[in-house]
Amino acid sequence: MSVGNTFFKTAFSVDNVIFGFDDSLLKVLLIKRAERPFKDQWALPGDLVFPEEHLDDAPKRVLRELTGLENVFLEQVATFGKVDRHPVGRVITIAYYSLVNIAKVHPKPHSFAEEISWHEVSKIQSLAFDHMLIMNKCLQNLKSKVRTQPIGFELLPQKFTLSELQDLYEAVLGKSLDKRNFRKKILSLEVLLDQEEYQQGVAHRPAKLYQFDRLRYEEAKSLGFTFEV
């Protein structure tokens, strides 16, 4: 058996699941492919890893080349290696995900991305390749982490209301939360700074604004504090 012919015909790719939050909805950034396979279908921003490219550099390079986004923190989630997951040949993909504030990023289509837009996660029914499986895996990871780590604040503006914070958690977790219990719990964690400000230009009664106190959180964490919602 020739080891070279048998084991060195596998390609590697990276796929990025970029979550955002807008209008009380959890969304994901998708591209419409301009090339085969799956031409004209929506997909995650992803591509093959170059032969001499460091794996940690690939997802950032792919995201930049397809969407124009840079300096986005990406965390590795899982590897997908089903033999027939890619119609061209054996391709093993590594999935990364990130949380971004939609208002702060301005993606534009590049390379083989014909279009690019945000899509409501709960309404996505199909994606190219096995990207539905990848997106759902990252979503499960997000649901788990958002309860035990303050990562959800990455999706919010710097100043937010408790209602906006609850809307975020409900959108990520996919269920309604008791308003009184949620506010009691989140305030008891003592990681929010009361800005002593209120919403401006709203039709309803203005709500108080808060900000996540990262310094206080890190200090409390070093003393054994556990974030749990």
Distances, alpha carbon 116 to alpha carbons 56, 68, 124, 194, in Å: 24, 10, 15, 37
CA 199 to chain centre: 27
Return d(Cα 65, Cα 112) in angstroms, integer.
9
| Residues 182 and 99 placed together within one structural domain of the fold | no
Interhelix angle 162-173/179-188, rounded to 10 degrees, is: 110
Specify if 228 maps to a domain. Answer: no
Block residue for tokens 């990023």: 105
Q: How many domains does the chain have?
A: 2
| Residues 107 and 187 placed together within one structural domain of the fold | no
In this structure, the chain runs to a length of 229
| Residues 90 and 176 placed together within one structural domain of the fold | no
Last residue of some domain: 147, 171, 198? 147
| Residues 81 and 174 placed together within one structural domain of the fold | no
What is the rounded (10 degree) CA torsion for 48, 60, 141, 181? Answer: -150
Reply yes or no on whether the pLDDT at 4 is more than 80: no
| Residues 129 and 205 placed together within one structural domain of the fold | no
Tell me the per-residue pLDDT of 62-112, one tens digit each, with 9 for 90 and over. 999 999 999 999 999 999 999 999 998 999 999 999 999 999 999 999 999
| Structural domain for 155, as ranges | 149-222
CA 154 to chain centre: 10
* Radius of gyration for the chain, computed over Cα atoms and rounded to the nearest angstrom: 20
The CATH number of the domain holding residue 128 is 3.90.79.10
Q: Are 150 and 212 in contact (CB under 8 A)?
A: yes
Tell me the per-residue pLDDT of 125-168, one tens digit each, with 9 for 90 and over. 999 999 999 999 999 999 999 999 999 999 999 999 999 999 99
pLDDT for 3: 60
pTM (2 decimals)?
0.91
| Residues 157 and 73 placed together within one structural domain of the fold | no
pLDDT for 220: 86
| Residues 31 and 65 placed together within one structural domain of the fold | yes
The CATH number of the domain holding residue 194 is 1.10.10.10
Last residue of some domain: 101, 131, 147? 147
| Residues 105 and 116 placed together within one structural domain of the fold | yes
Beta-carbon-side half-sphere exposure of residue 182 (alpha carbons within 13 Å): 16
Specify if 229 maps to a domain. Answer: no
